[in-house]
Structure 1
Amino acid sequence: MTTPDANDPAFSDKLSHLGTCRKPALTPLHRLAGVVVAATVLAFSGPVVAQTDMERQAQCELSAIRDTRSPLAVQYIRSACNWLVVNGDSLLNASSKGYYVCLVRQLSGAQSNEAAAAIMSACRTSNPL
């Protein structure tokens, strides 16, 4: 039978782990992989923005169309939501924004095309372009 030896790690009660905790050195291949990942993220950031716009439009439509029975009102709500998502933050279109906000808010719940037409006319009158 062998006796414990302080120099033999198999018998040591305190194993040293100094070498196992260090991070491996970055090689040129690792750096290239990092650049490729960063470029891929940037290249695909466009569709992410488009998806966000689609989600914003869907949320606008869902909030306004819920109890609306007029096909004309639904059509104009969708159009107004689209306009607000695409142009709503633009300072160039600030004068038109009130009209589209009015359409979304006031057409919600319209029960007939006649009511929708009257609401659209009132939004146009109160928010001239």
Structure 2
Amino acid sequence: MITPNANYPAFSEKFSHQAACGKPARALLHRLAGVVVVAMVVAFSAPVVAQTDLERQAQCELSAIRDTRSPLAVQYIRSACNWLVVNGDSLLNASSKGYYICLVRQLSGAQSNEAAAAIMSACRTSNPL
């Protein structure tokens, strides 16, 4: 290794200058990389949430529609699952949540539209909106 002496006067200044300039440059590079990562997370978070909502709705429908033969019951189960996924965590809609949960639970397995209509009426009565 060459050490600074009379033959190489700028040697020590050159490396001390690079070291001083390298740290801010490296810090700037790290900040820039951090900004890029944050931007990517924000940009891709909406589609991930939408996919998760679709998956949650599909799971809700699959669990409730399984043995249901009534077209009316299937329609209301789908609607209730959609409402629960979109609004289920909202405190503003807490009073309506019981009604939609009742629909999903009680309409499951309904064999006729008449039975589905009676179940929907009972859910409405027991969980007033």
Structure 1 residue matching 2:115: 3-state secondary structure: helix
What 5-or-longer segments of structure 1 have no aligned partner?
A: 1-24
4+ aligned runs moved over 4 Å, structure 1: 25-31
Please tell me whether residue 78 in structure 1 is matched to residue 94 in structure 2: no
Amino acid at match of 2:82: N
Shift of 1:43: 1.1
Structure 2 counterpart of 1:120: 120
Shift of 1:42: 1.5
Alignment RMSD: 1.6
Structure 2 counterpart of 1:66: 66
Structure 2 counterpart of 1:103: 103
**Cα-to-partner distance string for 1:33-73 (whole Å, 9 max, x where unaligned):** 44323311221111111111111111100100000010000
Structure 1 residue matching 2:50: 3-state secondary structure: helix
Amino acid at match of 1:105: R
Q: How does 1:22-101 map to 2 (within 5 A)?
A: 26=26, 32-101=32-101
Shift of 1:30: 6.4
Shift of 1:109: 0.3
Give the aligned length: 105
Shift of 1:101: 0.4
- What CA distance in whole angstroms lies between the structure 2 residues aligned with 1:93 and 1:33? 41
- What CA distance in whole angstroms lies between the structure 2 residues aligned with 1:89 and 1:35? 31
Identity %: 90
